[in-house]
A and B are shown apart, each in its own frame.
Chain A
Amino acid sequence: MSTPIKNTLLFAIVFGLTIGVGYVQGWNVALGIFNMGLISAIMALGVNMQWGYAGLFNIGVMGFVALGGLAAVLVGMDPVPEAWAAGGLRVLLGLAIGAASIVGAVMLWARVPSGWLRAVVLIAWLIVAFILYRAVFDPAVEAIEAVNPAGTGFLGGLGLPVILAWPVGGVAAAGAAWLIGKTALGLRSDYLAIATLGIAEIIIAVMKNEDWLSRGVKNVVGIPRPVPYEIDLQNDPDFVARMVGWGYDPVVASAIYVKLLYAALFIVVLLVLIWLSEKALNSPWGRMMRAIRDNEVAASAMGKNVTKRHLQIFVLGSAVCGLAGAMMTTLDGQLTPGTYQPLRFTFLVWVMVIVGGSGNNFGAVLGGFLIWFLWVQVEPLGLLIMDAVTSGMADGSWLKGHLQESAAHMRLFTMGLVLVLVLRFSPRGLIPER
């Protein structure tokens, strides 16, 4: 079978599965899976750039996705004027002092000749700066969080159209990636992995605890949408009349209509990204990246700046993950920092890339759809299997109850199994690199 036919067939199978879900579990569920599949595909594209093109081992995907989500809040939500009045400028001043103290410390380190004098000066500088920072920052945060804590208690956002948050999320993630890359990219791959794992946890910790910024674990709900609300559609006589005319229930139809609009937006983004990444991968730049990945020494002997190229691709890939994160938060309509877990947002994306085929953009996209489908559907499947297994057991027996209750945890095991099997028997993935 020739490669294009095989690939088309693979995609057809995955979409066929989703359509099958539409017939069995309803189109609303199927479209829900499809929309998250689109977002997963974009995340997988981002990770594929880093790992597939350049061999960078980034397991901090969760952090970049969360930064994108934060961008959706900071761009899309309306500002809270009372909170700004209470301490908005003071918080910004506090942050500026914090940044200045770090820059100052780096400059001191560079200027003062090494020795005990430098250590003393540096420590004194950091202590003074830290006390000053806390003196400005803490009361401001307290003032902001005291403003209607049950409803707002944070600064809010800029009140701009939420679509703008998508590129902003990408830029935010890119900025964070640049900072991390500057410090960690010279290190060997395991160290980069641990460093990115750590930074992702820190980003989540900040979002959980800095209530003035993201409301922390109180969550931000009601982020404005780029598409109409279901309830408005149901109250719109034109829409109801048209749907009834076509023979659909207006309530179900409104939900599907909204999901279709989201799907259209996401498809546009995904197609643009695929087009750009294919162009990049098949350009001299893409060949250079793969050359660096395959042999860093040879590439640098040819005059390629390995560290700079690594930084470049690290920033680009992270930006794509940030974009996907902003899109996901827009789709959810809420930011819930407590739900960001590395298994779901970092390692699952890795499974997508490896299973789909690292180094191949279409492979990553296929992996995104396929693994997301499995992730969602393994749970009901697990329940079915468990029902079958336990059908012979007496009702109310301890083992039966336990097995049925635990079926929900099958998905983690299944993902691991899929990853291990693919790595063993088809290490280049479903659609291998050309």
Chain B
Amino acid sequence: MEFLNALVAFSNFVLIPATAYGAQLALGALGVTLIFGILRFSNFAHGDTMAFGTMATILFTWWLQSKGVSLGPLPTALLALPVGIAVTALLLLGTDKLIYAFYREQRAKPVVLVIVSMGVMFMMNGLVRFIIGPDDQRFADGERFIIRASEFKDMTGLDEGLAIKTTQGITIVTAVIVVALLFWFLNRTRTGKSMRAYSDNEDLALLSGINPERVVMITWIIVAALATVAGVLYGLDKSFKPFTYFQLLLPIFASAIVGGLGSPLGAIVGGFVIAFSEIFVTYAWKKVLVYLMPAPLEPDGLVQLLSTDYKLAVSFMILVIVLLFRPTGIFAGKSS
């Protein structure tokens, strides 16, 4: 019984939140890693792309809500998601045409593109704040919980409750679907294969008649989809605030690098590594340990390794450790 209580507390406070957060990071990191693989630069505007996609989705969600459309127990934002993706894809294709394409033709050094993406980051950030403002926006509706803590207690008779938020469930299900689609696309379709070929060896891909502009275009569309889905899921789960999305850049890049830049599988693993370590290190373990330790050994303090404010520091430490011992990441990524 004690052990079961500990297990439930562990799932409730660590396992489920970390899995949801990990899925969101993984989707974000997939976008970063795809751009790095195909376009060969680290896109600093990715956090703000996520913010833009989420904003587009929120605006359409509000419009749907004002028309009285809803998905019942599911959040309306899911219905607005395709529109958000389409708008973001248009924006990314526009920035590519107006800004990035020039440097591709020039064959500029990657670091120049990184600095250009800094400018794009500023512009997108300004755009998002201009349209929706810098404040917190909540747009989740529908049923809040799949299982409530009190229901779970009644059902099982345990002291600890297990609550699963709808948004956590949706995050995990959506992430699985999106990742499955992406891998199917990359590994099974002709276009996906040409993208991988282009990523592996640009010259050889060009030689075999792959159209680089088409590859780049499809990459941006996929990135728009990934960024918008990641952003909307994060916003549903927590809340939407432009500055928070900008700050997600660090854990997302940490995930992509830890997994190995340019490796989609690595991005997913990296996302979960970062999410789990962040929550492991900043969770107050007292609640779990109380059930496991015999009474005299029960901890007095919170048994929290670091205060939650140091979450960013955790992703950073993992990043440094991986870079020191395995510079190309867990799944050997590219190094340019």
Contact = CB atoms under 8 A, between A and B. Distances in A.
Verify that A and B bind, or say they do not.
yes
Interface centre among A187, A341, A410, A412 (most CB of B within 10 A): A412
A420 B99 contact: yes
Contacts of A208: 309
A350 B131 CA distance: 26
A188 B335 CA distance: 8
A414 interface: yes
A424 B102 contact: yes
Given A406-B130, A409-B129, A209 B309 contact: yes
Interface in A380-420: 405-406, 409-417, 419-420
A278 interface: no
B56 interface: no
Interface centre among B125, B130, B243, B254 (most CB of A within 10 A): B130
Interface stretch (A117-125, A191-199, A295-303): A191-199
Contacts, number: 132
B310 A350 contact: no
Contacts of A55: 111
A205 B282 CA distance: 14
A239 to B, nearest CB: 42
Contact of A411 (B99, B126, B243, B261): B126
A409 B126 contact: yes
A194 B327 contact: no
B122 A413 contact: yes
A190 interface: yes
B4 interface: no
Given A197-B250, A420-B123, A190 B313 contact: no
Contacts of A412: 122-123, 125-126, 129
Interface in B236-267: 243, 246-247, 249-250, 253-254, 257, 261
B246 A343 contact: yes
A99 interface: no
Contacts of A424: 99, 102
Contact of B133 (A205, A342, A406, A414): A406
B149 to A, nearest CB: 30
Contacts of A188: 335-336
A158 interface: no
Contacts of B114: 57, 189-190, 193
A84 interface: no
B131 A406 contact: yes
A347 interface: yes
Interface string A339-365: 001110001001100100000000000
Contacts of A405: 133
How large, as a class, is the contact surface on chain A? 35 or more
Contact of A413 (B130, B249, B253): B130
A419 B257 contact: no
**Main secondary structure on B side of the interface with A:** helix
A427 B131 CA distance: 30
A351 B261 CA distance: 27
A229 to B, nearest CB: 34
Contacts of A183: 320, 324
Interface in B272-325: 305, 307, 309-310, 312-313, 315-316, 319-320, 323-324
Contacts of B249: 197
Interface in A173-191: 183-184, 187-191
Contacts of B254: 194, 198
Contact of A416 (B111, B120, B307): B120
Contacts of B336: 188
A280 to B, nearest CB: 23
A416 B52 CA distance: 15
Interface string B15-52: 00000000000000000000000000110000000000
Contacts of B305: 130
Contacts of B122: 343, 347, 351, 412-413, 415-417, 419
Contacts of B323: 184, 187, 191, 195
B284 to A, nearest CB: 13
30 contacts: A183-B320, A188-B335, A190-B42, A191-B323, A193-B114, A194-B253, A194-B257, A194-B319, A197-B250, A198-B313, A201-B316, A202-B310, A202-B313, A350-B118, A351-B122, A406-B129, A410-B130, A412-B122, A412-B126, A413-B125, A413-B126, A413-B130, A416-B119, A416-B121, A416-B123, A416-B125, A417-B119, A419-B122, A423-B115, A423-B116
What 9 pairs across the A-B complex have the smallest Cβ distances? Answer: A416-B122, A413-B126, A416-B123, A412-B126, A198-B316, A419-B119, A409-B129, A420-B119, A190-B42
Given A198-B313, A208-B309, A209-B310, 10 more contacts: A188-B336, A190-B42, A197-B253, A343-B122, A350-B115, A412-B125, A413-B123, A413-B127, A417-B119, A420-B120
Interface of B: 41-42, 99, 102, 110-112, 114-116, 118-127, 129-131, 133-134, 243, 246-247, 249-250, 253-254, 257, 261, 305, 307, 309-310, 312-313, 315-316, 319-320, 323-324, 327, 335-336
